[in-house]
Amino acid sequence: MDQSLKRNYQITWNNVFVHILLWGVIFILPYFFSNEVQIFNWRPFLRSLPDMLGIMLVFYVNYFVLIEKLLFKGRTKAFIIYNLLLIIGVSLLMYFTPIWINELIPELSIFRRRRRGGISGMHIVRNSTTLFLITGLSVAFKMTVRWFEIDNERKELAKAKSEAELQNLKNQINPHFLLNTLNNIYALIEFDPPKARQAVMDLSKLLRHLLYDNNQKFVQLKQEADFMRNYIDLMRIRLSDNVKLTSEFSYSESRNIKIPPLIFISLLENAFKHGISGDKQSFIDISLKEHPDGKVEFECKNSYFPKNEKDKSGSGIGLDLVKRRLEILCPGSYSWKTNIENDVYSTVLIIDSKKLVDDTKLLDSR
């Protein structure tokens, strides 16, 4: 069942349950003030029935008609006038109904005898006061239900907006990644065609991941690790001898750990962009570890050779996209630290996959 339909279904049944509980309590109340010894007796029930029906009439005329048609549309004066007429009419009906029943079915003798021609002001005031309170209760119920509906719509809109923004971020990451990769292959074609051909094969593996595995909100850690290995192998082809590249992957293939796809690739791109030099000794150390508590830790250290302003390769948007995707997919479930010290750039991104899954289930159940 669709999540929005499931939530609406749940809200509807919650409302039904609250209404049943409300009227159950109201119908039972007269027994607390009755002198009858029996747990249930038809006489006090029938005696209170006209009042209960009058109360329900005022409640639901307001709940289904007057509040929706008048109060919520800003016609407060008309809402008050119609309620005054409704309350006066129902109060009189509640007063005269026992008289009419006594006259029509005298053998019942369940109502106190009242003179037909006279009207007891005390009864009218009591009934009117009760109905005014019931009107306020109806408004409170309707306002509460309306608030939940608006809040549910707001959550649906926020979720749709986040999903659209997330898809837009993915669409930006793919061209950004391909641009950097194609630039590297272009450089290889000129001085090492065999390596360029191998790079094209490695790129095809990466594209397979982008096309088929990247459509989900979360992917298995093993899939993302394989993607990272292929990317590192692709980058390794064009590295010169003065660059030392190390990578370490430590995770359990049997555990179903899931993380957002392509969340580490921009960090790798950043390392290869700023961490290598054509004529100086440089290094890149990459580590991906899965901890027993479900946390996935990515750490990358590299020598730091910042590009000048003339170098526009990649446009510098990768890290901004990573941050925004983390805020959308992993709110409160990650920590990310970067540091530059002694010409060494380091970044550590830790994702709590266990908490991430819990948060996702919570979000889907709302």
CA 346 to chain centre: 34
289 bridge partner residues: 250, 297
pLDDT of residue 114: 52
Helix%, strand%, coil% for the chain, nearest 5: 65, 15, 25
Nearest to 268 by CA among 307, 310, 225, 309: 225
Domains of the chain, start order = 3-153 (no CATH), 192-365 (3.30.565.10)
Report pLDDT for 288.
96
Structure tokens at 199: 């790079």
Q: What is the pLDDT of residue 27?
A: 66
Question: Consecutive sets of 10 residues in the chain, 366 residues long: mean pLDDT of each?
Answer: 56 71 67 55 64 87 90 91 92 80 64 53 80 90 85 70 56 62 76 79 74 72 88 81 92 86 84 84 95 93 78 56 81 91 93 72 44
- State which H helix or E strand residue 284 sits in: strand 282-290
Q: How far apart are CA 155 and CA 347, in angstroms?
A: 34
pLDDT at 83: 93
Other CB atoms within a 10 A radius of the CB of residue 3 amount to: 13
Within a 10 A sphere around the Cβ of 215, how many other Cβ atoms? 11
CB atoms within 10 A of CB 300: 23
- Residue whose pair of structure tokens reads 């029938």 in the numeric block: 46
Which residues lie below 8 Å from residue 114, measured CB to CB, with a gap of 6+?
95, 98, 99, 102, 120
Contact 262, 321 (CB under 8 A): no
- In degrees and rounded to multiples of 5, residue 170 shows phi and psi of -60, -40
- 0.75 exceeded by pTM: no
Per the structure block, which two tokens stand in for 223?
């899939």
Yes or no: say if 82 and 70 are a contact pair by the CB < 8 Å rule: yes
> What is the rounded (10 degree) CA torsion for 270, 273, 276, 277?
-150
User: Rg (Cα) of the chain, in Å, rounded?
Assistant: 36
Using CA atoms, how far residue 164 sits from 7, 35, 265, in Å, is 21, 65, 21
Amino acid at 253: E
pLDDT of residue 361: 47
Res 31: pLDDT = 58
Token readout for 90 is 């129902």
Instruction: Enumerate the β-bridge partners of residue 285.
Output: 246, 301
Secondary structure tally for the chain: helices H, strands E: 10, 7
| Chain Cα centroid distance, residue 161 | 11
Could you give the CA distance from residue 251 to residue 264 in angstroms, rounded to a whole number? 15
pLDDT at residue 265, as a whole number? 82
Extract the tokens encoding 105: 């079915």
Residue type, 41: N
